[in-house]
Amino acid sequence: MKVLGVENYEEVKRVLVFHLEPSYCNVTILDNFDCEFKVRACKHDENLSGRAIDLLLVDYIYEWLGSSPNALKCSLSPTFVKKKLASECSEAWKRLVWSDSAQLRFKDGIPSYKLTRVKFEELVGPILQKCMELVDRTMASACT
32-89 confidence digits (pLDDT tens): 887 788 999 999 999 888 889 989 999 998 888 776 555 555 566 778 778 888 888 8
The stretch 2-9 carries a mean pLDDT of 61
Q: Residue 142: how many CB atoms within 10 A of its CB?
A: 19
Residue 32 has a pLDDT of: 84
> pTM of whole model > 0.85?
no
| All residues at 6 or more sequence positions from 27 whose CB lies less than 8 Å from its CB, including other chains | 16, 17, 18, 19, 42, 43, 44, 134, 135, 138
